[in-house]
Structure 1
Amino acid sequence: MRISIHTQLDYDLPHTTDILLQMEAAQLPEQFVESAHIALSPVEHFARVAAHDDIGERIWIRASGRFTVDYRSTVSIDRLLGDLGSLPEVPPHQLPGETVQYMLPSRFCQSDQFQTFVDAEFGSLRGGPRVIAIRDWVASHLTYVPGSSSGSTTALETFVKRQGVCRDYAHVVTTLVRASGIPARVVAVYALGVEPQDFHAVSEVFLGGEWHLVDATGMAREGGMAKIGVGRDAADVAFLTAYGTALLNNQSVQVGPA
């Protein structure tokens, strides 16, 4: 599947500000970036650095005044799509070292506080069937409400409020899967089917020796997502982190078939 991406950002920076951007589709074995171009307003500094787990890149920017970004790309997705329900979990002692961090609690995913709940709710299930049950539980118990959460909302808060946006759905799924003893991380993606179209966040779980994307919002499918970056939670995959004041004027994300 080929998808076309066009993203525009428009900010005012009252003072000289350092910005960390992470908004370009990653070049990976399962997705090939056929073409890409990023245009920025004049900046004082521009430097690419590796992103989390070396998946994708971040860009350090130093700028002031009007700051704009125009990013366009075409991505071909050739991801192997397995039957999630047939995949076994990997025993913790056999997990690759790079997955261990995704077994642990993080700032927005307090998995250590949910072990009693997952044992009571999903205790009869293992591996892929448990992940599917968690995904379906989140889908049926949370309501998608734009504006119902903020950048500081945790999985525990979303679990209590029972509403949120894609970021919150991903946090709750990731948290419950980790509490089940299965590595899980948050992934920023561009995805077909997202309404309203925006940067999208999903979970990714480690089953059967590989990572598999899971979207409890039901909007995106594994074969129609282009990864931007991965991390312990949304803090690791923010599309823009400003170390100073950044005032949003406009933001636009368009994803469609290519």
Structure 2
Amino acid sequence: MRLSIDVTLNYAIDGAADVLLLIEAAKGPDQRLLLQDLKVWSDTPLRAVPGEDGIGQRCWLHGEGSFHAEYRATVEILRQPRDLATLGNTPIRLMPPETIPYLLPSRYCESDRLEGFVEQEFGGLSAGPLACALVDWVAGHLTYASGASSGTTTALMTFAERRGVCRDYAHLLVALARAGGIPARCVSAYAPGVDPPDFHAVAELWIDGDWHLVDATRMASSVELARVAVGRDATDIAFMTVFGRATLNQQRVTVTRLP
């Protein structure tokens, strides 16, 4: 699977502000960058820093007034589909140390508040079978609704409201998985067929020795997701963080499958 990615960002920054940009597809064993070009109109040089867990990279820059960025890439996805239901259990005490932060509650994923629900609803399940049941539950109980949530909406709020956008689906699945003893992290990604076209958020679950991408909105399969960044929740994977104030003028994300 090869994807063509085309992104344009145009914002007006109120005064001047430092900006953290996170829109480049990440290199990795399951995806290869065949072509990549990032252009940012800025008075200061870009400074690249590693992303969470060493996946992808962020770029620091300084913006003043008009801020414009363009990103083009061709990504080859090398990932093979996996049947989560067949994946076995690893006792928490034997999990690698890098998974520990993804077992704990975070700002937008209050997994400790959902432990009782997971035990009551999915008691007896673990690892792959539990992951499948949680994905089915989130997909079946939430309604995708643009504008139904905001930047402050948490997994617990989505659990109560039963509607949201991709970020909310990812937060709730991650929180439920952590509540069930499965390390889970949020992932920003590019995917074809996302409606409306935009930066996409999915979950990644650590089961049976590896990370597995899951899109609870069911807009994209794991073999057509181009990973950008990972983190505990949306705080870590935001495509742009402005340390100041900014107004959106134009934002366009186009992802196309290539023959």
TM score, norm. by length of structure 2: 0.98
Q: How does 1:161-240 map to 2 (within 5 A)?
A: 161-240=161-240
Contact conserved, 2:190 with 2:200, CA < 8 A, in 1? yes
SS of equivalent residue, structure 2 residue 255: strand
Asked whether the 8 Å contact 1:186–1:202 carries over to 2, the reply is yes
Q: Is the 8 A contact 1:22 1:238 kept in 2?
A: yes
The answer as to whether partners of 1:90 and 1:182 remain within 8 angstroms in 2 is no
Gaps of 5+ in 1: none
SS of 2:46's equivalent in the other structure is strand
- RMSD over aligned CA atoms reads 0.8
Q: How far is the alpha carbon of 1:80 from its aligned partner?
A: 2.8
Q: Secondary structure at the match of 1:102?
A: helix
Say if 2:103 and 2:183, in contact at 8 Å, map to a contact too. Answer: yes
Name segments (4+ residues, structure 1) moved above 2 Å.
Answer: 42-45
* Contact 1:45/1:63 (8 A) holds in 2: no
Q: Is the 8 A contact 1:30 1:79 kept in 2?
A: yes
Per the alignment, in what secondary structure is the counterpart of residue 202 of structure 1?
A: strand
Residue in structure 2 matched with residue 127 of structure 1 by the alignment: 127
Shift of 1:44: 2.2
Please state how far the C-alpha of 1:129 moved relative to its aligned partner. 1.0
The equivalent residue for 2:109 is 109
CA–CA distance in 2 between the matches of 1:45 and 1:77? 31
Q: CA deviation at 1:119?
A: 0.5
Do the aligned partners of 2:42 and 2:61 also contact (CA within 8 Å) in 1?
A: no
Q: How many residues align?
A: 258
Partner Cα distance (2:148, 2:246) in 1: 22
C-alpha distance in 1 between matches for 2:117 and 2:14: 47
- Equivalent pair of 1:185/1:205 in contact (CA under 8 Å): yes
Supply the distance in 1 between the matched residues of 2:123 and 2:93 (Cα, whole angstroms): 20
Deviations along 1:95-121, one digit per CA (max 9) or x if unpaired, are 001000000000000000111100010
* TM-score of the aligned structures, taking structure 1 as reference length: 0.98
SS of 1:178's equivalent in the other structure is helix
Query: What is the deviation of 1:81?
Result: 2.2
Alignment partner, residue 21 of structure 1: 21
Instruction: Measure, in 2, the Cα distance between the counterparts of 1:229 and 1:203.
Output: 11
Structure 2, gaps ≥5 residues long: none
Q: Percent identity at matched positions?
A: 49
